[in-house]
Structure 1
């Protein structure tokens, strides 16, 4: 069996170095929860397959997640070391330093509260003088800021007195105490500012440096699985949603779709398009049936690949942006079996053709066609071609990934890169020092994280274990995408791409059937109906919400975006 190390898409643009990849790399520095998810549920979880990557490369994201984790862990360790070392070396100086730091913090709170409270107080007096009506919210805000200002000034006064009191209790001259406190303060400032600058510098590397490549056994396994031909999907649970819970019913098809990692299911032919394979001419169906059949399913798939390849051009009007095509073979978790050699490397072309020609096998082949805008907006079309019951069946589905969160695009802003940005980050880290001290308890998770990374070096998906299923549990890209409802203009572009691919696939299939002398009159009629129908397939052209029609009808309180979910078909 001819095998290769990984399965790459048939494209001409090289490795996946997209904006989405770099934005997600930046996200692991900006979002601790995202970083924890990447490390624990992707890298350390070697007993489940990695979800396919669409429009981005997962390996650099994982590499940067570990870099960000190491920087944060080092920061907590250094802060804790300075704090504990100060307590052991000079407890009085440590207490005085804490008092002075608290004094600075209280003064900052007092200034911020005063800047808000003074204008509100002036407005209150003006309203009282002019006898104007005041909103309760304004009075409540003023009272809250006045309380904050009072507490801050009271705390500042107490902390000013605390330093001489500490000096007297410890029996240390005030000048000597202040010298020791200054030494500890300098160390604290160096640690906080240095870690903040290092963190910001690492964040800047995600925008301009070369993306890291897989250089370890686990990284190579992740890279292989994200591009693998075979995808193991999770079937829907046995428990069906309650009939009255329409939101769960609407979400069920999308959350348990087999196309893991591809995003929201936006378009599907339901039921699939079927056409009887009959010869051209008159007569009964029995007289016009082919015997043997004029072609096999893999021949049509090969023809569609050839025709769709013409869309992979030079980013001009003859092509689609970042066009890709590949074979995807889906298998449900319960059908994996103990023999898993097919998970290692890529299947040969002959093996894929055999799977295509077996419509009732545990393996389900889909021709995958993808186009994306910088990896940020990814549209993926899936087409399953089968020949069974003397008929051709075409199962079409389309999924879409919306853009990554805006907060991950921070480096695109003006003045967010360069030396000045690093200096700002260093100063900001100093103001966040109390939070870092409070967060240092997270160091207790370090041993478990490192132990999980050590266990992940073994590819456990290849070794069957009773009761353990190996399907991908999550997709990083699906977890970090903007909601479908907020992608107004992007939805139009996605629909445009889907229709372009759908139209070309149907026309290519029509030409293939014509070459094979198959009667295509019925096929052309249905194909034309699919191409020209917008409401039936997309469900976005007409919305009827919160209505009741007919005898004993009951109005249902459904979400406003009820009509935007897919679920159409063809006639």
Structure 2
């Protein structure tokens, strides 16, 4: 994300990307320093380096041998008892015993071979065994100190981050300023889904839920869980009271006429919705929605982006955004983005597109859910995972896995390339037109690491609760706006009631077709293996009539 300046940064929902990038660079610097120190210590004396590497390999094989022995002993004891009692044995137990016995022998032979490395290397280097042992112990102790210090510094940094009141640095670099601008930019470039391959024919009469769709245009917002299909449309009609001249209060009637010209523009309704939705996130209201935000988002498909667009250099003004809203056939689609999050981990985002065309109002509503991160990402929130004891445990945990820490020294092979990319990252390569230019976000790490929707059943209530609250207020605010512009709202009220009460337009459920026929001259054949429900229910109904 930091080095790739040829693509936009995905929008951030519920978090700030700047501290994430900053702490990622800090962790990379700590690990790179550790690898460089280990490499220098191993490169000073090749003979000692061979013995140190052999000792680390012995550590790994010894742990494997101990684990295999702890598995082999119970299986061997069980095999002996089964043989004495003449009990049949499971084939899986015999296979497991055979496999772990083989692993125990191989690891034991490997440990014996590695033990012989020290005297052999000392003999080839013409160095006494005591001197080689002292040199190896000294280098090994330095490696332990370096790796342990890195783990301790990292945990101390995590402690400060956990208790810090502000994570964002005071001064941002040029690349950090660009990331900060793009993560909240009004324009979002999305990728259209690729068409299926010609040889892969889709199954006929297959209905998919919206949350099973492979790709959503709302980049970084999570799983698409709810949408009005088709969008809610209302014909713009006006109501004019007509009286009979005798009793205007009792005999008034309404003559419905169509507006020859829409009585409002789409951006006026959007501005009204912004003002009407703001009280939901009032910080002084203890019952207000936490993390409530209202933004303008302009979505444009990747092929429709012009070479070197002006909005990459300067953010659009409100007047320019209003022009996009009022044009229903523009390649740029405006969505009013409304978000809410209780803890920052669980984010519900609602998108509403308002268009006026064909002398009618069209409302396109969609809701996305960004679920929680994995449990291992929330370790600092657990009990006693910060403080001095956490530093000690983190250091011991890393030292117990010392061979794996030293083996990661190969990361130095890509360190130079990463540093060169970081030095070039101050230049925005999206501003220079090039052949096959594609600037859509490649990945959203927060979206990739979110808990899958099918495993977030406990959070579905909170997500749908926030979604319904926002949905009802949007419909009510739209109804009030239409009435203020003297637009007939009878049809709108009926459709709004259908959405709120019955969820007819909620396409998030599973569609099933039973006992149905599709096509010309199609017929339904009842399965003879199932009882006829009509004949079973007939006697009961007759008995009820008697």
Flag whether TM exceeds 0.5 (same fold).
yes
Deviation of 1:471 after TM superposition, in Å, equals 1.8
Partner of 1:491: 460
1:212 — aligned with what?
168
- Is 1:419 matched with 2:388? yes
Check if 1:224 corresponds to 2:193. Answer: no
Match of 2:312?
343
1:412 to 1:124, Cα distance in 2 relative to 1, 3 A: farther
| SS at structure 1 position matched to 2:8 | coil
Count of residues in Structure 1 that have an aligned counterpart in Structure 2: 506
**Structure 2 residue corresponding to 1:61, chosen from 20, 24, 31:** 20
Residue 372 of structure 2: aligned partner: 403
Greater displacement, 370-379 / 95-104: 95-104
In 2, Cα distance between the equivalents of 1:248 and 1:451? 49
Is the 8 Å Cα contact of residues 120 and 138 (structure 1) preserved in structure 2?
yes
Which of 439, 450, 458 aligns to 2:419? It is 450
Partner of 1:518: 487
Counterpart of 2:67? 112
Alignment of 1:274 onto 2:223:
no
Inter-partner Cα distance in structure 2 for 1:252 and 1:491: 13
Contact 2:210 2:507 in 1 (8 A): no
Change (3 A) 1:505 1:308: same
Structure showing greater radius of gyration is 2
Give the alignment partner of residue 190 of structure 1, picking from 145, 155, 166: 145
CA distance in 1, matches of 2:113, 2:331: 74
Deviation at 1:407? 1.7
How far, CA to CA, are the matches of 2:384 and 2:157 in structure 1?
A: 16
For 2:56 and 2:123, locate their aligned partners in 1 and report how far apart those are by CA, in whole Å. 19
Q: Flag the 1:263–1:279 CA change in 2: closer, same or farther, 3 A.
A: same
Deviation track 1:455-512 (CA, whole Å, cap 9, x = no partner) reads 2211122332232121222222211101010000212221121111111111111111
Shift, 1:138, TM fit: 2.4
Query: What SS is found at the alignment partner of 1:50?
Result: coil
Distance 2:73 2:504 in 1: 58
* Match among 87, 96, 101 for residue 146 of structure 1: 101
User: Aligned pair in 2 of structure 1 residues 143, 423: CA closer, same or farther (>3 Å)?
Assistant: farther
Q: 1:201 to 1:131 in 2, by over 3 A?
A: farther
Q: Does 1:121 align with 2:76?
A: yes
Listed as ranges, the matches of 1:47-446 within 5 Å are 47-87=6-46, 91=47, 93-209=48-164, 210-213=166-169, 215-239=172-196, 242-244=201-203, 254-281=213-240, 288-314=257-283, 318-338=287-307, 340-446=309-415
Contact 1:275 1:392 in 2 (8 A): yes
Note the C-alpha offset of 1:173. Answer: 2.6
- The structure-2 alpha-carbon separation of the partners of 1:286 and 1:459, relative to structure 1 and needing over 3 Å to count, comes to farther
Partner of 1:25: none
Aligned 8 A contact 1:80 1:437 in 2: no
Cα 1:346/1:78, change in 2 over 3 Å: same
Q: Kindly tell me: are residues 287 and 502 of structure 1, through their superposed partners in 2, closer, same or farther at Cα, counting changes over 3 Å?
A: closer
8 Å CA contact 2:293–2:340 kept in 1: the answer is yes
How far apart are residue 77 of structure 1 and its match? Answer: 1.8
With over 3 angstroms needed to count, the CA separation of the structure-2 counterparts of 1:189 and 1:322, relative to structure 1, is same
Relative to structure 1, the CA distance from residue 73 to residue 250 in structure 2 (aligned partners, 3 Å threshold; closer, same or farther) is farther
Deviates more, 1:100-109 or 1:380-389: 100-109
Q: Assess if the C-alpha contact under 8 Å between 1:380 and 1:400 holds in 2.
A: yes
Normalised by the size of structure 2, how large is the TM-score? Answer: 0.84
Note if contact 1:265-1:399 (Cα within 8 Å) is conserved in structure 2.
Answer: yes
* DSSP-derived class of the 1:328 partner: strand
**Does the Cα contact within 8 Å between 1:106 and 1:155 map onto a contact in 2?**
yes
In 2, the alpha carbon distance for the partners of 1:447 and 1:245 equals 52
Aligned to 2:251: none
C-alpha displacement at 1:436, in angstroms? 3.6
Distance in 1 between residues matched to 2:55 and 2:271, nearest whole Å:
74
Is the 1:315–1:321 contact (alpha carbons within 8 Å) kept by the matching residues of 2?
A: no
User: What's 1:30 paired with?
Assistant: none
Cα separation, partners in 2 of 1:250 and 1:79, compared to 1, 3 Å:
farther
Determine helix, strand or coil for the equivalent of 2:368. strand
Say whether the 8 Å CA contact 1:366–1:383 is kept in structure 2.
yes
Query: How far apart are residue 180 of structure 1 and its match?
Result: 2.0
What is the CA deviation profile of residues 186-225 of structure 1, one whole-angstrom value per residue up to 9, with x for unaligned ones? 2222222222323333344442333133610010000001
C-alpha separation in 2, matches of 1:126 and 1:247? 56
Residue number in structure 1 paired with 2:245: none
Within the candidate set 466, 474, 477, 2:443 is matched to 474
Gaps of 5+ in 1: 1-41, 555-571
Alignment CA distance shift 1:303-1:56 (3 Å): same
Q: Structure 2: where are the runs of 5+ without partners?
A: 243-253, 526-546
The 3-state SS of whatever aligns with 1:280 is strand
Alpha carbons 2:232, 2:363 under 8 Å: kept: yes
Q: In structure 2, how many angstroms separate the alpha carbons of the residues matched to 1:538 and 1:281?
A: 37
The alpha-carbon deviation at position 311 of structure 1 amounts to 0.5
What secondary structure, in the 3-state scheme, does the structure 2 residue paired with 1:119 have? helix
Please state whether the residue corresponding to 1:288 is helix, strand or coil: strand
Take 2:374 and 2:27, find their aligned partners in 1: how far apart are those partners? Answer: 19
Q: 8 Å contact 1:86–1:184 — kept in the other structure?
A: no
Question: Is contact 2:8–2:439 with CA below 8 Å preserved after alignment?
Answer: yes
The one-character-per-residue Cα deviations of 1:97-136 (angstroms, maximum 9, x if unpaired) are: 4444444444333333222322222222223333334332
Secondary structure of the structure 1 residue equivalent to 2:373: coil
